Amino acid sequence: MSQRSALPEWQHLQQCALRARSRHLRDMWQSGDRAAEFSRQAGPFFMDFSKQRLTGADRDGLLALARACGLEQAIGDLMAGVAVNNTEERAALHTALRADAHEQVFVDGRNVVPAVHASLERMDTMVTRIHSRQWRGYSGKPIRDVVNIGVGGSDLGPVMVCNALGEFTPPEAHELKLHFVSSIDGTQIADLLGSLKPETTLFIISSKSFTTVDTLSNARTALQWMLEETGDHAMTLNHHFIGVSTRADRMSEWGIPAANQIEFWEWVGGRFSLWSGIGLPVALQIGMKGFRDMLAGARFMDQHFRHTPLADNLPVLLGLIGVWNATFLDIRAHAVLPYDGRLKVFPSYLTQLEMESNGKSVSRAGETLDYSTCPVLWGDVGPNAQHAFYQLLHQGTQAVSSDFIAPLKRYGDHHSSTDLQVQHQLALANCLAQSRVLMLGDACVENGDSAPEFRRYRGNQPSTTLLIDELTPYTLGALVALYEHKVFVMSVIWDINPFDQWGVELGKQIADATFLAMKFSGSGDAAAFDGSTAALLARIKKAGRKPS
């Protein structure tokens, strides 16, 4: 038995879960005002978790477990710069990236906030130069296309935000086009380069370590494409490349001038790096004011997380519900369902944030866990998902928990079309209807219990509905921070480190070794591989040989 599962509070919840498995959500509305009891408001967010399969006693048991696991102390340690990333012996201080300039956050005895704001000022300078058409290519023409080359956290965060906040582009950025390249197979960058002009294209190379094979392979392709036009290595790098990394030495070695570098820090995890220089594409899209508004929204959620009692704390409640479902009710799949097309990339962003963080099976002390941790997470824009995988949610054999996310307001005074406002109302109606059917099943349909079996809906699929006043840079920043902190809460209860990713690192190492084996023409190099991989390597090599 692990240290966590041996806790009396844990064992009490296991008994609660046994009772919960015999209950149906439709029977949990018989007394009291459940909607009021199981909902909370914080700033622009209203969270309704009344459709979750938990009673007041279950909720109180989860809060007791959180206290027994030292959650309040862990939250303080996270934000104070304690080395909560124990396997890499460093802090995880993404919250410092959105701290006010007057705040003090210390790492190894040094206040890091001044360096954070100096980096923001450097971003501001670059954004201003590009927006004002003063950053010019080798021929003297202003930049019109910016290509962000990154992967994982250096790609998903900026892509997600730029998709969500495109309507907040300021006038000075309207002529600027942003593009994103992450795939290592070359398809993305090859297709993109064919549509661009070298003299007006700027590349941002984003890599925490500046050694990521995917990113540097695409960067070399971009550089070669530029050099075929310019023939001047130094001039090309000076006018057409920006680097964002924790390693200034490696950026310089690659050839990027110091003036074109934005640094961040080892205590920023890649999937938490959106708020650093990795967010440069976002600042180019929505301006530095918009970027700072996004930081302010995240800062609001940081303060809420740090100072609000656990029972009223949105990230805490969201995280505890996640643990209740995945660990105690054994619900191993979770869907994220935004009812707003601007958030279409948000589920993919959360897939990395949650599964790379909490996809762990070993405790902080190195013991193998005897309980389930992170569920498989996926999702899509709700109206599209209804015509794709909702069939499984409603009538499949899988138990699935869900988060429904929707803005209350859209298409305000700046839109004259009442048709668009009606469409938004239709989206909200679908959001409420789908969560209702998932909860009640055919009990929400007259005579539903007498329908033939193929028309029956079991319901009892738990969900949380998160309503946002309106989608803006501020509220999106707060939304992302809400889920960041949810991930941390779950990790504390599960007693795992959410800030490393050794599984990812192993995959990279094996890929490097496999690539080296592909480069050799002999057969002996395959001996180190398993039979399947050796056979596949031989077939790939044979396909690549030129006929004699």
* pLDDT exceeds cutoff 50 at 524: no
| N residues, the chain | 548
Question: How far is residue 18's CA from residue 4's CA, in Å, rounded to a whole number?
Answer: 18
Is this model's pTM higher than 0.85 or not? Answer: yes
DSSP, collapsed to helix, strand or coil, labels residue 85 as strand
Look at residue 413 in the predicted model and tell me its pLDDT.
54
Confidence of residue 414 (pLDDT cuts 50, 70, 90): low
Positions of CATH 3.40.50.10490 in the chain: 8-68+308-417+467-494, 94-284
Helix axes 473-494, 346-358, angle to 10 degrees: 20
- Tens digit of each residue's pLDDT (9 = 90 or more) over 87-143: 999 999 999 999 999 999 999 899 999 999 999 999 999 999 999 999 999 999 999
Q: Which residues, in sequence order, are bridge partners of residue 182?
A: none
Lowest mean pLDDT among 7-16, 66-75, 279-288, 442-451: 442-451
- Tens digit of each residue's pLDDT (9 = 90 or more) over 252-292: 999 999 999 999 999 999 999 999 999 999 999 999 999 99
CATH top-level class of 94-284: alpha beta
Lowest mean pLDDT among 65-74, 218-227, 454-463: 454-463
Look at residue 415 in the predicted model and tell me its pLDDT.
54
DSSP, collapsed to helix, strand or coil, labels residue 488 as helix
Look at residue 48 in the predicted model and tell me its pLDDT.
98
CB 335 within 8 A of CB 384: no
- Calculate mean pLDDT across residues 475-485: 98
- Tens digit of each residue's pLDDT (9 = 90 or more) over 238-249: 999 999 999 999
Kindly state the percentage of the chain with pLDDT values over 90: 83
- Tens digit of each residue's pLDDT (9 = 90 or more) over 423-478: 999 999 999 999 999 999 987 877 777 778 887 888 999 999 999 999 999 999 99
Kindly state the percentage of the chain with pLDDT values over 70: 97
Lowest mean pLDDT among 208-222, 288-302, 360-374, 502-516: 502-516
- Tens digit of each residue's pLDDT (9 = 90 or more) over 136-158: 999 999 999 999 999 999 999 99
Neighbouring residues of 287: CB distance < 8 A, sequence distance ≥ 6: 127, 131, 168, 169, 170, 172, 173
Look at residue 267 in the predicted model and tell me its pLDDT.
96
Q: Give the C-alpha distances (Å, rounded to integers) separating 52 from 40, 401, 455, 464.
A: 14, 8, 24, 7
CATH top-level class of 8-68+308-417+467-494: alpha beta
Confidence of residue 523 (pLDDT cuts 50, 70, 90): very low
Active site amino acids = 356, 387, 508
